[in-house]
Chains A and B, each alone.
Chain A
Amino acid sequence: MPGISREEVAHLARLARLELKDEELDHFAGQLDDIIGAVATVSDVANEDVPPTSHPLPLTNVMRPDTVRPSLTPQQALSGAPAQEQQRFKVPQILGED
C-alpha cells in the first residue's frame, strides 16, 4: 500500500479539524507513514470469507423504559460552557457575513 504524503496529512488534519502548524505536518507525516506501514499488515490475513467484528457483544436495539426522570438543570448543563446567553450555548458565527 502507498505511504502517506505531507499533503495527505494536511488534508487529514483539515478533515479532523486540527489547525496543524507547518513543522507539525513534517513531524507527523513521517510518524504516520511508519505507523500506517506497520498496521497495513492486517490485510495479509483478512480474507474475503472472514466476517468482520465491530463489537465484542452481539447487541441490537437495547431499550429501556421511556420514563420521565430527573436530569441536569439548564444551569448544570451550561456550567462548562465557554460562553452562554439566555440559557443557551453561545457559539462563534456559523455562517459567512454575506
Chain B
Amino acid sequence: MADLTRLTAAQTAEMIASGEVTAVEVAEAHLARIEAVDEKVHAFLHIDREGALAKAREVDEKRARGERLGPLAGVPAAVKDLFTTEGVPTTVGSKILEGWIPPYDSTVVRKLKEADVVILGKTNMDEFAMGSSTENSAYGPTGNPWDLTRVPGGSGGGSSAAITAYEAPLALGTDTGGSIRQPAAVTGTVGVKPTYGGVSRYGMVAFSSSLDQAGPCARTVLDAALLHAVIGGHDELDSTSIDQPVPDVVAAARNGDVAGLRVGVVTEFRGEGYQAGVLQRVDETVELLRELGAEVVEVSCPSFTKALAAYYLIAPSECSSNLARFDAMRYGLRVGDDGTHSAEEVTALTREAGFGDEVKRRVMLGTYALSSGYYDAYYGSAQKVRTLITRDFERAFGEVDVLVSPTTPTTAFPIGERTDDPMAMYLADLCTIPSNLAGNAAMSVPCGLAPEDGLPVGLQIIAPAMADDCLYRVGAALEAAHQARWGHPLLEEAPSL
C-alpha cells in the first residue's frame, strides 16, 4: 500500500469514504510516523493514541453500517495546544497549565469531532502563543523539518512542523499577529487566518481577544479550505462571532483563477531587513500572477510601518488583562500554599514560577501601557494607529481585490538566534500584523526556496473581511501554476527525516 501519510486530506477522505482504506489504517500510519520522527521534530506535546484509534474505529463502524459520514471522516488532524480538549491535556505551552485536563471542548474541536476528524494530539507552541519561533514553549523547541537546527516559526510551530513532517495532513492553529501564516511560510505549507469572527474563539485560551483568530494549517490550498469550512461559522458561545455564512472556500479552492483579478503589491513590505532570496521568490510569484492574467499594481499603505509598534502595545495590553485569570485559585499551578502566604502572595509566587520570560515581559509591558499617565501616549495612540491601518486597507481595497507581500522578511532562522533579543524576534511578524489589527482575511502560500539557503519562502495574500474565498481562489491558482513549473509539490524537496 502507498504511504498513507503522504496523501492529502482530500484524497484521504475520498479513499475512506469509498472503502479503499480504513480510518484505522490511516490513523495507525500517522501514529507510526509520529513515533518514528517526533523525537527529532518535537511537534507534539501530547499524543492521544487511544482517542485517535477509538474515533477511527467509530468512523469505520459508521461506514460499515451505511451511516452518513462527516466531510473529513477519518482524516487525522493535529490541534494546537491552545484549544481546550475535553479529557485531553491542554497546556498552552506553559508550566502554569501543566497537567490541566479541560472539562469541555472548544467549539472548533467539537466541530472537528462532529465532522468525524481523527484528532491525533496537541501540538507545541510558544507559551500562550507569544512568540514567533516556538522557542518560548515551556516544553522545549520544535525543529523545522527542512532543517532541524532552525525554527518552524511560531507561535504555531508545532502545527506547521507536524504537517511538514507528514505526521498529520491537517492542523489547527491560531493567529494573533501571524502565528498561522508565519509558520506556514517558513515550512513551505499553507496557513490561513480567516476573517476575525469567522471562526469561534470559544475554548481558545485567550491571548489578545480583539486579534486572536483560529484557522487551518495544511499542505495544500484545498485541504486548508476543507478544514476552514468545517471549523468556520457562527457560534453563540462567542459574542464576537460573525452571524453570516462562511464564504464557500472549498468551491474557491477547487476553482483557482486570477484572470482579471486586481492584485496590489504592498510597497512598504520590502527593502532593508528583507532577505534578497525572499524578495526574489516573491517578485517571481507576482510575475506569475501577471502571466496568469491578473492585473498587478503597486499599492502604498503608509501606516503599515507603524503596525508592529501598535501591535506590541495592543496585544500586551489585552494579554495583561486576559492572563489575570491565572491566579492559582481555580485551576492550574499553585505555588507557596504552605500556610505562611496570603492568597495574593500565592498568586504572585505561582505566576513567577509558572510563566516564562516572554509572558512576563508582555504582561508587564501591557500593565505599563495601560497605567495611568501612560495610557493615552501608548495604548490610546496604538488604537489610533489601528484606525489608520484599517483606513489604508479600505483605500487599497477600493483599488484592488487582494494585496500581496512576503509573509515574512526572512526564511527560518536558527534556533537560539533571537531568543534573548525580543525586538529581533518581533520583526518576524512585520508583514502579518496589519491583517490582525484590521480583522481581515489573509493566507500564506509557498512560493519556492530562497536561493541562498534553500529554505521555503511564503507569499502573503490579503483579502477584505468576509472575502476569505478570494484567498483560496488566488492561492489555488498559484499552487497549480507553481507545481506545473516545479513538477511536484514544494514539500517533496524537503529532506527525509
Residues of A within 8 A of B (CB): 1, 4, 8-9, 12-21, 24, 27-28, 31-32, 34-36, 38-47, 50-57, 59, 62, 64, 72, 76-77, 79-83, 89, 91-94, 96
Contact for B342 among A41, A51, A92, CB less than 8 A: A92
Contact B387 A4 (CB under 8 A): no
Q: Which residues does chain B contribute within 8 Å of A53, judged by CB atoms? A: 383-384, 386-387, 390
**Contact between B364 and A51, CB atoms less than 8 A apart:** no
How far is A80 from B343 in the complex, measured between Cα atoms in Å? Answer: 17
For residue B414, CB closer than 8 A to chain A, the reply is: no
What are 20 inter-chain pairs, A to B, with CB distance below 8 A? A16-B320, A17-B344, A17-B348, A21-B352, A24-B360, A32-B368, A36-B368, A38-B309, A42-B306, A42-B310, A42-B381, A46-B381, A51-B387, A57-B439, A80-B100, A82-B332, A89-B330, A92-B342, A93-B342, A93-B343
Chain A neighbourhood of B103, CB < 8 A:
72, 76-77, 79-80
Q: How many A-B pairs with Cβ below 8 Å?
A: 179
Picked from A32, A57, A93, the residue with its CB within 8 Å of the CB of B361 is A32
Please, which residue of chain B has its CB at the minimum distance from the CB of A62?
B239
In the complex, what residues of A have CB within 8 A of residue B465's CB?
56
Q: How far is the CA of A38 from the CA of B365 in the complex (A)?
A: 12
Most chain A CB within 10 A, of B100, B324, B384, B439, is at B384
Interface string of B197-208 (1 = CB under 8 A from A): 100000000000
Contact yes or no, A42 B313, CB < 8 A: yes
Shortest distance between the CB of A18 and any CB in chain B (Å) = 5
Q: Is the CB of B347 within 8 A of A17?
A: yes
A-B interface, 7 closest residue pairs, ranked by CB to CB distance from nearest = A56-B439, A80-B331, A52-B383, A82-B334, A46-B381, A76-B103, A46-B384
Inside 8 A of A77's CB, which chain B residues have their CB?
A: 103
Task: A4-B368, A45-B388, A80-B100 given; name 14 further pairs at CB < 8 Å.
Answer: A1-B377, A16-B367, A18-B363, A31-B422, A38-B312, A41-B306, A42-B306, A42-B385, A46-B384, A54-B383, A62-B239, A81-B330, A81-B331, A82-B332
Highest count of chain B CB atoms <10 Å: which of A1, A13, A47, A89: A13
> CB distance A45 to B239 under 8 Å?
no
Q: In the complex where A38-B312, A56-B439 touch, is A15 in contact with B367 (Cβ < 8 A)? A: yes
B303, CB-defined interface residue at 8 Å = yes
Nearest CB on A from B341, distance (A)? 6
Cα A66 to Cα B445 in complex, Å, equals 43
> B interface, how many residues as a size bin?
35 or more
Q: Are A56 and B343 in contact (CB under 8 A)?
A: no
Return chain A residues, CB-CB under 8 Å to B367. 12, 15-16
Instruction: Please give, as numbers and ranges, the residues of chain B lying within 8 Å of A41 by CB-CB distance.
Output: 306, 309
User: Does B438 interact with chain A (Cβ within 8 Å)?
Assistant: yes
Chain A residue nearest to B435 (CB atoms) is A56
A57-B240, A80-B332, A93-B342 as given contacts; A43 in contact with B368, CB under 8 Å: no
Partner of B364, one of A18, A52, A94: A18
Nearest CB in chain B: distance from A92 CB, A:
4
Known: A44-B306, A72-B104. Contact between A32 and B364, CB under 8 A?
yes
| Chain B 291-309: CB-based contact to A (< 8 A → 1; otherwise 0) | 0000000000001001001
Tell me whether A35 and B351 are in contact in the complex, defined as CB-CB below 8 angstroms, given that A55-B210, A59-B239 are known contacts: no
The residue of chain A having its C-beta at the shortest distance from the C-beta of B332 within the complex is A80
Q: Are A35 and B422 closer than 8 Å at their CB atoms?
A: yes
Question: Assuming the A-B contacts A35-B423, A92-B343, are A28 and B383 also in contact, with contact meaning beta carbons closer than 8 angstroms in the complex?
Answer: no
Rounded to whole angstroms, the CA-CA distance of A89 and B197 in the bound complex is 34
**Cα–Cα, bound, A35→B414 (Å):** 22
Q: A40 contacts B423, CB within 8 Å?
A: no
- Is B328's CB under 8 angstroms from A80's CB? no
Given A16-B364, A92-B341, are A43 and B381 neighbors across the interface (CB < 8 Å)?
yes
Closest chain B residue to A8 by CB distance?
A: B368
For A82, give the chain B residue with the smallest CB separation: B334
| Contact assessment for B364 and A34 in the assembled complex, using a CB-CB cutoff below 8 Å | no
Q: How far is the CA of A37 from the CA of B291 in the complex (A)?
A: 44
User: Distance (Å) between the CB of B322 and the closest chain A CB?
Assistant: 12
Task: Give, as a whole number of angstroms, the nearest-CB distance from B104 to chain A.
Answer: 7
Query: Is A18 in contact with B355, judged by CB distance below 8 angstroms?
Result: yes
CB proximity of A62 to chain B, nearest CB, Å: 4
A6 to nearest B CB, angstroms?
12
